[in-house]
Amino acid sequence: MTTTAITHISALVTNDPSLGDGSPLGLIQDAAVVIEGDRVVWTGESSKAPATDNAVDAGGRAVIPGFVDSHSHLLFAGDRTQEFNARMSGRAYSAGGIRTTVAATRAATDDELDANVARYLAEALRQGTTTFETKSGYGLTVEDEARALRIAVRHTEEVTFLGAHIVSPDYADDPAGYVDLVTGPMLDACAPYARWIDVFCERGAFDGDQARAVLTAGLAKGLHPRVHANQLGHGPGVQLAVELDAASADHCTHLTDADIDALAQSATVATLLPGAEFSTRAAWPDARRVLDAGATVALSTDCNPGSSFTSSMPFCVALAVRDMGMTPDEALWSATAGGAAALRRTDIGRLAPGARADLVVLDAPSHVHLAYRPGVPLVHEVWRRGERTGLPRSG
């Protein structure tokens, strides 16, 4: 395998505190990183870089790990422009709008759904996202949920079965029957394609007992839990996530002290999704409170057509710094290493020897510019699995 050195990096974020300045970001100034195949094999000061087959001059730009988006909903058709417009004119967000997307998704062809996923992933890659999780949840029949996951696995290994997104309109008068469907035939059809199982534990969706039934059935099939928890109000989602050793409790907008203590004493990551609060004008999660308690925090986009139609991790970093009490360092760590933790991965979200060579070269001298210059396209180039991807354009 050939080796490539990226040199003259103004500031390299490794997310390894044993490197560089010893901070959680493991920041190395005037740095270089050496790639062999799809792995990082060396990091350090640029002047000390070993000889390699190829060299790329970063030109004094900063380099960060590729963003890890651990929560997205990309298997859908249509959009909800009218709903967003109405909400921005005063209508409150509720879980019911998902039904609009369910109807559009059921009507779409496999090719249309596949093309949509590819389009949004290319969009995310242009903004530095090199790993993403995505879910089903807009089919809500055995056939439609299974085909969503069959399409998803063409694009990512981080696939989540979310048949329990809302109670299917077909079972509006029989929620218990729908839970039986999700935990029975639907799970049987979907489990071969998924790594994770998720449930929207929230008013208007599934209560604590229903969520437990869904997640324990998934566990019995070898799927690991994730939970949509405490987005619209206080509820049992976070405590259930911790009890079942879920990889993440996602949203975490409304937390009691007991919820925060439970997260801090567990391996369950609190995944915060500021795009949802931005798009629904809801209260911001108090990231400062969660971090100060010692819990692990991830940032993700929640990209979906209803409540957070953004694929931009830099945008979410800026929101987290501006409105959720995070420092620029904390926000970047949470959008990279934090996302990796929420996927229980150690090979991504960092740039240290042995890690996958997923990195982003910024048109800026420091990662702080992600929050300092919000909305500016700062991604100069992206490397994924050791290969320069270029920046694909839609259309």
Ranges 71-85, 130-144, 325-339: which has the least confidence: 71-85
- The pLDDT assigned to 393 comes to 42
Whether residue 394 is predicted with pLDDT greater than 60 in this model: the reply is no
Average pLDDT over residues 231-251: 97
- The pLDDT assigned to 86 comes to 82
CA dihedral 84, 87, 92, 95 (to 10 degrees): -10
Integer Cα distance of 110 and 115 in angstroms: 9
- The pLDDT assigned to 305 comes to 94
Whether residue 366 is predicted with pLDDT greater than 80 in this model: the reply is yes
Output phi, psi for 36, to 5 deg: -130, 120
CA 183 to chain CA mean position, Å: 25
Percent of the chain with pLDDT over 90: 91
Token pair for 61: 């730009």
Q: For residue 355, what is the DSSP state? A: S
Q: Name residues whose C-beta falls within 8 Å of residue 169's C-beta, 6 or more positions apart in sequence.
A: 99, 102, 140
Integer Cα distance of 153 and 78 in angstroms: 21
Exposed (0-12), middle (13-18) or buried (19+): which is 205, by Cβ within 10 Å?
Answer: buried
Whether residue 395 is predicted with pLDDT greater than 60 in this model: the reply is no
- The pLDDT assigned to 81 comes to 87
Percent of the chain with pLDDT over 70: 97
CA 170 to chain CA mean position, Å: 30
6-56 tens-digit pLDDT: 999 999 999 999 999 999 999 999 999 999 999 999 999 999 999 999 999
- The pLDDT assigned to 337 comes to 98
Integer Cα distance of 97 and 80 in angstroms: 8
- The pLDDT assigned to 239 comes to 98
- The pLDDT assigned to 82 comes to 82
291-338 tens-digit pLDDT: 999 999 999 999 999 999 999 999 999 999 999 999 999 999 999 999
- The pLDDT assigned to 392 comes to 43
Ranges 48-52, 86-90, 195-199: which has the least confidence: 86-90
Confidence of residue 100 (pLDDT cuts 50, 70, 90): confident
User: Does residue 131 contact residue 157 with C-beta atoms inside 8 Å?
Assistant: no
> Cα–Cα distances in Å, from 290 out to 41, 89, 240, 280, 284?
34, 32, 17, 22, 12
Average pLDDT over residues 266-285: 96
User: Does residue 212 contact residue 198 with C-beta atoms inside 8 Å?
Assistant: no
Whether residue 92 is predicted with pLDDT greater than 70 in this model: the reply is no
Neighbours of 89 (CB within 10 A): 7
| pTM for the whole structure | 0.95
Report which residue type is found at 188.
D
Confidence of residue 96 (pLDDT cuts 50, 70, 90): low
Whether residue 93 is predicted with pLDDT greater than 90 in this model: the reply is no
